[in-house]
Amino acid sequence: MNAQLWIPIAVVLAVLLTVLVVGLIRYRSRRISLVPGETKSTSALEDRSGGYRADRGFNFSQGGTATLDRTDTDGQPGVGDDAAIPRDAPRRDIADVRLPEPDAAEPPPDSAVVDGDVVDRAGSDAEVIDGEVIDTAVVETGTVEDIGVEIPAVVVPDTAEAAESAAAIDEIQPTAGRLDRLRGRLSRSHNAVGKSLLGLLGGGDLDEDSWEEVEDTLLVADLGTPTTMAVVESLREQMAARSVRTEAQARALLREVLIEQLHPELDRSVRALPHADRPSVILVVGVNGTGKTTTTGKLARVLVADGRRVLLGAADTFRAAAADQLQTWGERVGADTVRGKEGADPASIAFDAVARGIDEGVDAVLIDTAGRLHTKTGLMDELGKVKRVTEKALQKASVGAAATATTDEVLLVLDATVGQNGLTQARVFADVVDITGVVLTKLDGTAKGGIVFQVQHELGVPVKLVGLGEGADDLAPFEPAAFVDALLG
């Protein structure tokens, strides 16, 4: 074969090869891949439990992750909602009223100077730490060497008591699969909402009256106007586009739309993992009676079950029995409680708890606060001070990067049974402190769980945990899909 013949053959072969390659590339680019995508590996945190990440269980992370910005900032305070006299407040009659002491010209005994500020721990029980006036009404005193400041020590059980409580340590229910175990409690009260929605949507074409009924049902379940409107709009569009005819199709669509409204993409991990040089600090805030102490206790159990060392701070000094209640929760899982005398300054207790937590190298300090103040200003003063003082304790006693250390998590506890009122409370608290997560309690006793939608929508913070009963282990992580499934029955 001569060279003249080879040239056209080579050209034809080259063209064929090019067509083949281009065709293959175009075919592959149009194909839908059914291979699961590469899952992102989670970074190795300072996790002393060996990297525990519960599947359908609790998810803990280290502080520092950003949350969404609030979408609503004009919330008005629901002043007075939280002004109830504590359940077990002792009644005082006139015979119990003490006359004021005469003014002392001299500084009160037992006063001390901390960083140039007068620290007074006997007379008025007032203490100043870095310009912050803190009342202290303490039983004992102790020293935290790291910060060179004498601070009030904690009430710790004596050895005999400690041995007794150690013997009585509870067995904690597994933390994984909690929501599955407790889902029945949600379903009981929620099914009615789901049933009526499915009854309306299952028939296919809906007239205006039926859409109004859908709207009403969502509003009655406390989803709030913006979420209700968004859900209805999305349902109307999708039902037409997908020509939904059967109840099964309606259910699938409704499920999809509701889950979307719950923003499953939000980070719901509880920032309870310790940092390199200090524990994580979690403040638990909320109106009295919502379940703050119970939630703090339940969360401590989950952390202990996860292999963490936990220290509790009883900064709810308003209700006499709150500290006892918290201490009992702690004793049941072998966690100590830092507490002061009744009426002591919550900020002082929070300071002590953090300082001691750092000193003892615990993994997490959980601080239970009081939410009983009559005015927004009062609440702001108290909670703001607790947070500032807590952060001061972190910054003073820590080293290096911790100079800017902040509270890792501020969990707002809301009682789901109070409906709209819960939202008003949430707004007040969100104005006072930067809430990083919400715990919705008593969801076992209400069909008004729709408040979840509203709280997230207005505050821009995720609901992280839900309380599903009075039992010690009736706390579960919040999972949008499971919640909607329970709602739809």
CB nearer ligand GTP, residue 63 or residue 291? 291
CB nearer ligand GTP, residue 186 or residue 272? 186
In the DSSP assignment, the letter for residue 132 is E
User: What contacts 24+ positions apart, CB below 8 Å, involve 380-386?
Assistant: 380/431, 380/432, 382/346, 382/347, 383/285, 383/429, 383/432, 383/433, 384/432, 384/433, 385/132, 385/134, 385/346, 385/347, 386/283, 386/315, 386/346, 386/347, 386/350
Least spacing, CB of residue 185 vs ligand GTP, in Å:
8
CB nearer ligand GTP, residue 217 or residue 288? 288
DSSP 136-189: ---S-EEEEGGGTEEEE------HHHHHHHHHTPPPPPPSTTHHHHHHHHHHHH
Paired tokens of 470: 């009075």
* Core vs surface per residue 238-262: b (16+ CB within 10 A) or e: ebeeeebeeeebbbebbbebbbebb
The residue nearest ligand GTP at its CB is: 467
Identify the residue among 316, 345, 352, 485 touching ligand GTP (CB under 6 A).
Answer: 316
The Cβ of residue 133 has, within 10 Å, a number of other Cβ atoms equal to 18
Least spacing, CB of residue 182 vs ligand GTP, in Å:
10
Least spacing, CB of residue 223 vs ligand GTP, in Å:
20
Angle in degrees, CA 479, 471, 159, rounded to 5: 120
Least spacing, CB of residue 323 vs ligand GTP, in Å:
9
- Given a contact cutoff of 8 angstroms between Cβ atoms, the answer to whether 90 and 74 are in contact is no
Q: How far apart are CA 459 and CA 470, in angstroms?
A: 27
372 annotated as a binding-site residue: yes
369 annotated as a binding-site residue: yes
378 binds ligand GTP (CB under 6 A): no
Which helix (H) or strand (E) segment is 281 a member of?
strand 280-285
Query: Is 156 exposed, middle or buried (CB count within 10 Å of its CB: 0-12, 13-18, 19+)?
Result: middle
Identify the residue among 53, 86, 181, 359 touching ligand GTP (CB under 6 A).
Answer: 86
285 annotated as a binding-site residue: no
14 annotated as a binding-site residue: no
CB nearer ligand GTP, residue 126 or residue 411? 411
Q: How far apart are CA 427 and CA 376, in angstroms?
A: 11
Least spacing, CB of residue 82 vs ligand GTP, in Å:
9
- Which positions from 326 to 365 touch ligand GTP by CB under 6 A, shown as an x/- string? ----------------------------------------
- Of the listed pieces 102-110, 197-205, 262-270, 437-445, which binds ligand GTP according to CB under 6 A? 437-445
292 annotated as a binding-site residue: yes
Query: Is 358 exposed, middle or buried (CB count within 10 Å of its CB: 0-12, 13-18, 19+)?
Result: buried
Least spacing, CB of residue 73 vs ligand GTP, in Å:
26
Identify the residue among 214, 322, 393, 402 touching ligand GTP (CB under 6 A).
Answer: 322
Paired tokens of 130: 């870095």
- Of the listed pieces 93-101, 132-140, 163-171, 314-322, which binds ligand GTP according to CB under 6 A? 314-322
Nearest to 87 by CA among 321, 408, 324: 321
Q: Where are the alpha helices (DSSP H) in 168-278?
A: 178-201, 208-220, 225-241, 247-261
Identify the residue among 78, 279, 289, 477 touching ligand GTP (CB under 6 A).
Answer: 289
Identify the residue among 441, 446, 454, 456 touching ligand GTP (CB under 6 A).
Answer: 441
CB nearer ligand GTP, residue 266 or residue 284? 284
180 binds ligand GTP (CB under 6 A): no
Q: Which residue has the tokens 């409370």?
A: 425
199 binds ligand GTP (CB under 6 A): no
135 annotated as a binding-site residue: no
- Which positions from 380 to 409 touch ligand GTP by CB under 6 A, shown as an x/- string? ------------------------------
Identify the residue among 175, 217, 290, 407 touching ligand GTP (CB under 6 A).
Answer: 290
Binding residues for GTP: 286-293, 368-372, 441-444
Binding site for ligand GTP (CB under 6 A): 86, 286, 288-294, 316, 319, 322, 370, 441-442, 444-445, 467-470, 474
